[in-house]
Amino acid sequence: MTVPLVFKPIEIDGVLAFDGGIVNNFPHDIMKEVFNPDVIIGHQVADDQKTANSDDLMAQISNLVMRPTNFEIDENEGILLKSQFKGVGLLDWNKADMIMVEGMRTAYNSLDSIKSLIKRRITPSNVNETRAKLNKKKPELFFQNIQVEGVKDPMQRRYIIQAIKGKDDVVTLYDFKKEYFKLIADEHIKSIMPVSRYNPETGYYDLHLKVDPQKKLEVKIGGNISTKPINQGFASFNYRTYQRRAYSLNSNIYFGRFYSSFKLGARIDYPAALPFYLAGYSTYNRWDYFASSTELFFEDVRPPFIIQNENSTRFEIGLPWRIHNKVYGGVAYSNSTDQYYQTDIFSKNDEPDKTTFKAFSTQIGIENNSLNYSQYATEGAYRYFTLKYITGKETNKPGTTSGKNAVETTKNHDYFQAEAHTTRFFKLNNKFTTGILAEAVFSNKKDFSNFRSSKLAAPGFYPTPHSKSLFIENYHSNNYVASGVNTVFGLATDLDFRLEGYVFVPINELLPPQNGIVQPKQFIRNYYLQGLAAVVYKTGAGPLSLSINYYEKENTRFYLMLNFGYIMFNKRGF
């Protein structure tokens, strides 16, 4: 489907080809002229062109490029079926199932009228016999010769062919489909249009691939605009090249009051029989967390009470498994420093505690991701399981809020950590979607030198975009289970209303000391709720959302936020 100003055209033999529906959206006249059929059965599912209002851009484009259509079929030549739809536009791909069901219902209801026009009858067994004879004449879809068009770099052409064929001389349709979907997911390739032609000399099909590659040099800019103090800018640089393998050099930078980061990395993709990649990244991250008042609509932002800095270098190897899965492993070194106060009441003259943790980590994992959006998803699934081993040295330098007798301490940590997560959405009807989430972390990690440093170093549960911008001690624990349900109601195209609710259950929860005395741990003592209600409009540049967020904690529990863009961060070291 190619429509001017909406979808780019396809180039065939040097000519730009657009959707034929632009010129004639119901070509029964062409059918009559070329094939001279006994009976024409037409089905009109598109409305006649209507006057577009000033805010409906798609209707304006449709009226601008499409010619008027004649949907009339003479009753002596055939029959016209009609299915009418309200609120269905050019880009409403998610309504395709509904359109097909309604079209089938119209056809079933018109079967008697159709049969009255067609006097000849053939038994199902005769139809099946004719089809079987035809299928015997068709050669099996096996591909041997592969040509690549649209790619100037001979190394990239070789990479594409090798990715499909591997070491095989002939490729089955099943194997081609697998490798095709992997290729179009490759960041080096924008699109691939395959065309097959039977070659009687070889007895196989020749495969012609029209490839539109990504530019070698790509620069992106973006940002996030919010009513909360989490505004930030973003810029990225990507360079791609080929030398029998696909090489990528990439870098990005986030800059803002809440989050700042810089990443530099490289990746090599090997198109072997079992394709895999090698990657290495060096990242600097910095988070400033802000305390706020208990007001719902306005917040009196104070100086940051927690600052986290991290430098990390990691190396990773991974390989695809099926279509949406990857298996990976890696090693990393991380040097993190947390600055914080032991109390929520402090002055400008107070010095914060500083906890430094220098650590090496190794991990293996498996990941599945078929979500349709990286934020506020409505379809697909996201799952992962990772097993990590971490060894490092903690150094704690007390500040003025730690007490007069506090001294600098060091401690070694060696522990395993297993993490599992699943998110999945279920479409109940055209308007209503529900999703489930489950997450768990288990480890034999020991507590750090004090309560706050232990919480800062513990894994956290933050399932919503706004929650990622807060540090809430209640949702951090070395061991926990969590689950939740979200519901999505489609208000209009790209406009949703969401309700989400989650429960977090820490295991062997670390509680604040009472009068300097550490509280004993229990296997399960508390649970903490979290929720979100939001209206989300998905624009081409990112989601625009108005949300009310709830957290079970002291002081502020409700947060109102208007946000445009993605709340996303570079990966931590482990």
* The pLDDT of residue 66 is above 70: no
Q: Residue 404: helix, strand or coil by DSSP?
A: coil
Mean pLDDT score across all residues of the chain = 87
Which of 159, 181, 213 is where one domain is finished? 213
Q: Mean pLDDT, to the nearest integer, of 334-353?
A: 86
User: Do 196 and 223 have their domain in common?
Assistant: no
* The pLDDT of residue 3 is above 60: yes
Q: Is 374 left (phi over 0), alpha (psi -120 to 50) or beta?
A: alpha
Other CB atoms within a 10 A radius of the CB of residue 215 amount to: 11
User: Do 478 and 524 have their domain in common?
Assistant: yes
**pLDDT band of 63, cuts 50, 70, 90:** low
d(CA 525, CA 154): 63
With respect to residue 329, please indicate whether it lies within any of the assigned structural domains.
yes
With respect to residue 1, please indicate whether it lies within any of the assigned structural domains.
no
User: Do 33 and 88 have their domain in common?
Assistant: yes
Q: Which amino acid does the sequence have at 338?
A: D
**pLDDT band of 152, cuts 50, 70, 90:** confident
Other CB atoms within a 10 A radius of the CB of residue 442 amount to: 15
Tell me, what's the pLDDT at 167?
81
User: Do 68 and 152 have their domain in common?
Assistant: no
**What are the phi and psi torsion angles at 30 (to 5°)?**
-70, -40
Nearest to 313 by CA among 252, 361, 271, 363: 361
Q: What is the pLDDT of residues 31-62, one digit of tens each?
A: 888 998 989 999 988 766 666 666 666 666 66
> Across 59-68, 165-174, 447-456, which has the greatest mean pLDDT?
447-456
Tell me, what's the pLDDT at 475?
97
Other CB atoms within a 10 A radius of the CB of residue 359 amount to: 20
* The pLDDT of residue 324 is above 50: yes
Least confident range of 89-98, 344-353, 358-367: 89-98
Tell me, what's the pLDDT at 303?
44
Name the percent of the chain lying above pLDDT 90: 53
With respect to residue 159, please indicate whether it lies within any of the assigned structural domains.
yes
Tell me, what's the pLDDT at 293?
36
Name, in order, each residue with C-beta under 8 angstroms of 532's C-beta and a sequence gap of 6 or more. 464, 466, 486, 498, 499, 500, 501, 547, 548, 549, 550
Q: What is the pLDDT of residues 353-366, one digit of tens each?
A: 999 999 999 999 99
User: Do 129 and 149 have their domain in common?
Assistant: no
* Total structural domains within the chain: 3
Tell me, what's the pLDDT at 190?
84
Q: What is the pLDDT of residues 98-126, one digit of tens each?
A: 888 888 999 999 998 888 888 888 899 99
Nearest to 395 by CA among 410, 413, 378: 410
Tell me, what's the pLDDT at 302?
46
Which of 183, 213, 243 is where one domain is finished? 213
d(CA 229, CA 466): 11
Q: Mean pLDDT, to the nearest integer, of 339-360?
A: 87
Tell me, what's the pLDDT at 321?
82
Nearest to 163 by CA among 202, 207, 198: 207
User: Do 25 and 162 have their domain in common?
Assistant: no
User: Do 171 and 129 have their domain in common?
Assistant: no
| 313 and 332 Cβ atoms separated by less than 8 Å | yes
**pLDDT band of 348, cuts 50, 70, 90:** confident
Q: Residue 65: helix, strand or coil by DSSP?
A: helix
d(CA 160, CA 148): 8
In the numeric block, the tokens 């960041």 are attached to 187
Helices (H), 403-470: 451-457
d(CA 556, CA 558): 6
User: Do 433 and 553 have their domain in common?
Assistant: yes
> Across 45-49, 107-111, 218-222, 279-283, which has the greatest mean pLDDT?
279-283
| 285 and 572 Cβ atoms separated by less than 8 Å | yes
User: Do 182 and 234 have their domain in common?
Assistant: no
With respect to residue 5, please indicate whether it lies within any of the assigned structural domains.
no
* The pLDDT of residue 4 is above 70: no
CATH code of the domain covering residue 412: 2.40.160.50
Tell me, what's the pLDDT at 291?
43
| DSSP structural state of residue 175 | H
Other CB atoms within a 10 A radius of the CB of residue 199 amount to: 14
d(CA 466, CA 444): 30
With respect to residue 62, please indicate whether it lies within any of the assigned structural domains.
yes
With respect to residue 465, please indicate whether it lies within any of the assigned structural domains.
yes
Tell me, what's the pLDDT at 54?
64
Q: What is the pLDDT of residues 507-544, one digit of tens each?
A: 999 998 887 777 888 899 999 999 999 999 998 889 99
d(CA 195, CA 13): 13
User: Do 513 and 369 have their domain in common?
Assistant: yes
Contacts 24+ apart (CB under 8 A), 219-222: 222/541, 222/542, 222/565, 222/566
Which of 118, 136, 154 is where one domain is finished? 136
* The pLDDT of residue 65 is above 70: no
With respect to residue 233, please indicate whether it lies within any of the assigned structural domains.
yes
User: Do 244 and 120 have their domain in common?
Assistant: no
* The pLDDT of residue 253 is above 90: yes
> Across 14-18, 160-164, 368-372, which has the greatest mean pLDDT?
368-372
**What are the phi and psi torsion angles at 436 (to 5°)?**
-125, 150
* The pLDDT of residue 455 is above 70: yes
User: Do 21 and 149 have their domain in common?
Assistant: no
**pLDDT band of 136, cuts 50, 70, 90:** confident
What are residue 81's DSSP bridge partners?
43
Tell me, what's the pLDDT at 443?
97
Least confident range of 252-261, 302-311, 428-437: 302-311
With respect to residue 574, please indicate whether it lies within any of the assigned structural domains.
no
Least confident range of 202-216, 362-376, 463-477: 202-216
* The pLDDT of residue 294 is above 70: no
**pLDDT band of 297, cuts 50, 70, 90:** very low
* The pLDDT of residue 435 is above 90: yes
Three-state secondary structure of 83-134: CCCCCCCCCCHHHHHHHHHHHHHHHHHCHHHHHHHCCCCCCHHHHHHHHHHH
Tell me, what's the pLDDT at 403?
75
348 compared with 203, residue with greater pLDDT: 203
Structural domain including 82 reads 10-136
Q: Which amino acid does the sequence have at 449?
A: S
What are residue 318's DSSP bridge partners?
277, 328
